[in-house]
Amino acid sequence: MLKRKFALMLILGILIPVIAGCGNGTTNTSVTDPNSSVQYDTPSDPSGETSVSEDTILIGVSASITGNAPMNGLRTQQGAQMAVDEINEAGGALGRQLELYVADDGGAQDTAINAVNLIISQDVTAMIGPNLSGMALAVEGLIADAKIPMLTGATSPKLVTAIDNEYLFRIRAADTVQAKLAAVYATENLGYKKIGLFTNSNDYGTGALNVITQYLDSKDIEYVTEAHNTGDTDMTSQVLKLKDAGVDCVIVWTDDAETALCARQFYDLGLDVPVIGSPSISNAQVSDLCQPEWLESWYCVTDFTSSNTSDYVVKFVEDFQEKYDETPELYAATYYGAIYILKDAIERAGTTDSGALMAALNETDNLQGIVGKYKSNAMREMVHEGIICKLENGTAVFLESVKVED
């Protein structure tokens, strides 16, 4: 009981935005590796100027150092920095060292705009992040105007259906892939006939909802929809409606804090059916907020799990644990891969010139990464597969990898 109360306190705690560092372009450097070669936008450098050598290739990082999910920002930095350290130790790219410039995007659209403007002002070669779809949508015009390639893990279909930004490259499987995979697995693999859909009302949730309902409609499969908002702390009414409707499976598509709260309330309110979650529940910073019994009937779709037994993942996990004494998760894997995508493109281009780099990124073809092979399609989407996991004792255990699109 004490553990459950403590978990609820943690859930509520991460739902409350952290104000420190937001709006003034400052970064909480206490969560970074002091021995790394990262430059930060800190109060000690009010001019925002860097001392980067002309022989250094500077890459911007938009990471949520503060906000409601600071662990995601930490893992983003760690994954990117590990890749930079490995590349620099091996001689760099084009014989030049890589260096990161990290700006705190605060996990919100307004602070993301500030962070990306600051990154652009540093004359970076390219940037990675922000990770959330709403933030990526808010800043994509800035990077287009600046002519700076941006590699993002944001997954909303709007990033390719509502805009056509030649500078934006997606390095995770889109919700059109992940959400459809969840629907297919629930109905074809698990055989369920009446699906509950519980989604966030933001771009992330509604984008997935549209993909899933289109698929279910095409198969004439019955479903019930309920929604919640970012920051909700009570989902009782929606959960009870799903329960009363007699659904035999629920697909949950929402952000980290709301996923943990959802797991708690499904359990407490007796909605005892299998659940297929979005990638959020595969991350330790989310599943660790849950009691294992809350997740006994949970599956998830994701890009990465540390339990994947492929040689590439095993080595990445071992190296990350040795470097940081932590187990890597999706954010670390995503932005570790982003740095290697940029390194590969820079070397094929033979320059950091924006036009040549853009062309090389578009020609990325079967580059092996931690979340699969990267191959850029016509809309600059580089990942075309997903992973099915089963939650066992609170940990996402790899079941199978499924390629959805050539």
Q: Residue 275 is encoded by which pair of tokens? A: 């659940």
pLDDT at 185 over 50: yes
Are residues 43 and 159 both part of a single domain? yes
Reported as a pLDDT band with limits 50, 70 and 90, residue 203 is: confident
pLDDT tens digit sequence for 288-332: 999 999 999 999 999 999 989 889 999 999 999 999 999 999 999
Q: Give CA–CA dist 210/397, Å, rounded.
A: 28
Residue 382: inside a domain, yes or no? no
Which CATH number is 342's domain given? 3.40.50.2300
Q: Looking at per-residue confidence, does 267 or 401 come out higher? A: 267
For residues 9 and 1, the answer to whether their CB atoms sit within 8 Å is no
pLDDT of residue 291: 94
pLDDT tens digit sequence for 122-160: 999 999 999 998 899 999 999 999 999 999 999 888 888
Question: What is the percent of the chain where pLDDT is above 70?
Answer: 86
Are residues 23 and 158 both part of a single domain? yes
Are residues 198 and 260 both part of a single domain? yes
Q: What is the mean pLDDT of residues 351-376?
A: 95
pLDDT of residue 41: 53
Reported as a pLDDT band with limits 50, 70 and 90, residue 284 is: confident
pLDDT tens digit sequence for 93-121: 999 999 999 999 999 999 999 999 999 99
pLDDT at 191 over 60: yes
Reported as a pLDDT band with limits 50, 70 and 90, residue 54 is: low
Residue 12: inside a domain, yes or no? no
pLDDT of residue 53: 53
Reported as a pLDDT band with limits 50, 70 and 90, residue 175 is: confident
Range of the domain at 193: 175-302+387-403
Residue 1: inside a domain, yes or no? no
CA distances (Å), origin 159, targets 140, 177, 357: 9, 14, 21
The domain tally of the chain equals: 2
pLDDT tens digit sequence for 3-12: 444 444 444 4
Are residues 231 and 296 both part of a single domain? yes
Are residues 368 and 268 both part of a single domain? no
Are residues 232 and 215 both part of a single domain? yes
Are residues 263 and 397 both part of a single domain? yes
Reported as a pLDDT band with limits 50, 70 and 90, residue 405 is: low
Are residues 181 and 122 both part of a single domain? no
Are residues 77 and 116 both part of a single domain? yes
Q: What is the mean pLDDT of residues 171-192?
A: 92
